[in-house]
Amino acid sequence: MAAVMPVPAASRVLMSGNEAVARAVWEAGVKVAAAYPGTPSTEMLEVISSYPDLYAEWSVNEKVSLEVAIGAAYAGSRSFCCMKHVGMNVASDALMTLTLTGVIGGLVIAIADDVGLSSSQNEQDSRYWGRFAHVPVLEPADSQEAYAMTLYAYELSEKFQVPVILRMTTRINHVKSLVTVGERNEFVGAGFKKEPARFVMVPGNAGKRIPLMFARDIKLRELAESAELNFIEEGSDKRVGFIASGPAYMHVKESFPNAPVLKLGFSWPVPFEKCRELAAMVDQVVIVEEVEPLVETELKAQGLNVIGKEILPLQGELSPNVLKPAIARLLGEPVTETTALAPMQVFPRPPTMCVACPHLGVYYTLSQVRNLNISGDIGCYTLGAGHPWNALDTCVSMGASMGVALGMDKGRGEADKDKRIVAVIGDSTFLHMGMQGLLDMVYNKGNVTVLLLDNRAVGMTGGQNNPGNGYGIHGEDAPRVDFAKLVSALGVKDERIHVVNPYELPVLFKTIREEVKVPEVSVIITDQPCVLVKDYHKLKPFEVIDDKCTGCGNCIDVGCPAIHVTRRGKEVKPSGREVDLAFVRIETSVCTGCGLCVQPCAPKAIVHHVQTSPIQLVTKGGCAA
């Protein structure tokens, strides 16, 4: 993002949680911020990069981003790192030792849990990391809190020389609400001091740091007991008192305005005495937390008689329409029937690949080649698992397509002996965690055909730049990795490396079909950009000559959303077999002329569109609201 003028202090602005954290990072005088994109965390670093006076980078993966932040914090500067929940799994190796060394300058790690799986391969509760790594966890309930807690986290981090986790969820990251912003404060770092007993974590040194970590836990718990972020709100209806954190707090207040509530903003270490204080005020205590019963389990271990996941779901978001009936049942009250209609039955509308997406050519081709087991990965191309292609058979974690493909090859049983193993991975995912898997595959002599889909962007998260596209975080020129040379250096034979244009279906088809027959590692690199990035150039749109369309439906199998059925029919083949026909048109206003649908059209019914409509001639300039 290009630099913008920050809004003045004391302004009250509508901000997402991500924007609020970014503002606070800038105000806190952070010098280094690093991240790998991932929904719902992406906009934090995107917005940070638009502020002046700091260094921001897209790192190749979350572990590297945390390590960059660690280095800056060791150097005495304030640093920031953010990631989605699964990113923390990748970064955790660094975290587990960082907790022993601690920091000099403040280090805040914002982790965005995709509660409800809007765009993730699993659901996780990142509050575990606080317990696992013995670092404090703060949980905002709206954008204003996300802003204020980020500022507080830097003070906390420096006071205890400990990294601090800011645990957010989709419903904090992406919800926009009002935030009153403040002034920026310059933070002058102390500079790096050589202190091997602290910063060189060999067994002899690390062992001496562990007791310090445990002592820190005790001090942090004392602070949590008195911290302003943990407070009790009294209420007149004392039948049930609630302990809640994050967005769940808002749902509790919305649903039970008269109930006593202990709000946990500083949620680990859990302030046990505060919890006992609430318990003494009410008949029953219900813990309302998304996702895992963490506070609940710890309070039960303390001997407190509390209720939690016995009556609330372990999965997904909580909301007033989950909480109200659960509490009514607990109290033995009738559950108020909702006045809402039953939802009407409407077809599903799953996410699709974009019009003219270069992946369409790849998946159309894969869907036409028989006998493949296809190990997939994480990105837009995961959509290849859906209709009409059904050409992706596994998706586990970032970069997993490589190792899983090798395992499918080495572990193949009699039933799969004639199957060809294909791995599909995007450029950014390959650089994130796929390179090591390919190296492993080559070294261990796998029989896998790798499709490396280089679309020159982190597509799914909005087209961020990466080392594969030659642009830095601000769009400036940056060194660009040469994928063919890279895979060659990893040991793939040069005759097994092919760079192909995914819009040239015959070449792609021939290359894939030949390479899957070769019993060693091949890499086929596709080289056309994502249609949403600036390097993509639109071409003249196509249209269908209605008289020529035979209704064969081959073009529909490409899966481009610009192709629409105008009418359906049936035809009896000479063999007596009845086939369905679907006659089509192309939405020329969105077609960008990639030509993929033209290639499987036998009657040559798809031709360049002749512009006649005045709608095509309007001025450019982003009229859309």
Residues that bind other proteins (CB under 8 A): 14, 39, 118-119, 142, 171, 174-178, 247, 250-251, 253-255, 257, 319-321, 338-344, 346-354, 380, 383, 387-388, 460, 462, 556, 559-561, 563-565, 568, 580, 582, 584, 589, 614-615, 618, 621-625
**What gap in Å lies between CA 604 and CA 561, rounded to an integer?**
20
Smallest separation (angstroms) from other proteins to the CB of 521? 31
**What gap in Å lies between CA 464 and CA 472, rounded to an integer?**
9
Q: Are 569 and 581 in contact (CB under 8 A)?
A: yes
Q: Are 158 and 106 in contact (CB under 8 A)?
A: yes
Smallest separation (angstroms) from other proteins to the CB of 373? 24
**What gap in Å lies between CA 549 and CA 2, rounded to an integer?**
48
Give the torsion sign (CA, 425, 536, 533, 468): positive
Degrees to nearest 5, angle at CA 345 with 340 and 347: 140
Give the residue with the Cβ less far from other proteins, 86 or 421: 86
Residues 97-127: b if buried by 16+ CB within 10 A, e if exposed? ebbbbbbbbbbbbbbbbbbbeeebeebbbbb
Smallest separation (angstroms) from other proteins to the CB of 447? 33
Give the residue with the Cβ less far from other proteins, 339 or 371: 339
Smallest separation (angstroms) from other proteins to the CB of 37? 13
Give the residue with the Cβ less far from other proteins, 305 or 336: 336
Helix and strand tally (H, E) in the chain?
19, 23
Smallest separation (angstroms) from other proteins to the CB of 458? 12
Give the residue with the Cβ less far from other proteins, 351 or 491: 351
Pairing of strands 372-375, 420-426: parallel
Question: How many C-beta atoms surround the C-beta of residue 331 within 10 A?
Answer: 11
Give the residue with the Cβ less far from other proteins, 6 or 320: 320
Whole-angstrom CA distances from 401 to 44, 260, 362, 429, 434 are: 28, 50, 16, 10, 8
- Which element (helix H / strand E) includes 63? helix 62-74
Smallest separation (angstroms) from other proteins to the CB of 408? 26
Give the residue with the Cβ less far from other proteins, 14 or 197: 14
Smallest separation (angstroms) from other proteins to the CB of 175? 4
Give the residue with the Cβ less far from other proteins, 67 or 557: 557
Smallest separation (angstroms) from other proteins to the CB of 553? 9
Residues 6+ apart with CB under 8 A from 152: 138, 229
Give the residue with the Cβ less far from other proteins, 14 or 190: 14
Q: Report the half-sphere exposure of 272 (CA within 13 A, side-chain side).
A: 13
**What gap in Å lies between CA 487 and CA 375, rounded to an integer?**
18
The token duo for 89 is 């799994």
Give the residue with the Cβ less far from other proteins, 176 or 238: 176
- Which element (helix H / strand E) includes 297? helix 294-301
Smallest separation (angstroms) from other proteins to the CB of 170? 9
Smallest separation (angstroms) from other proteins to the CB of 70? 32
Smallest separation (angstroms) from other proteins to the CB of 93? 29
Give the residue with the Cβ less far from other proteins, 215 or 565: 565
Q: Is 602 left (phi over 0), alpha (psi -120 to 50) or beta?
A: alpha
**What gap in Å lies between CA 106 and CA 30, rounded to an integer?**
8
Q: Report the half-sphere exposure of 482 (CA within 13 A, side-chain side).
A: 6
Give the torsion sign (CA, 588, 593, 598, 600): negative
Give the residue with the Cβ less far from other proteins, 353 or 508: 353
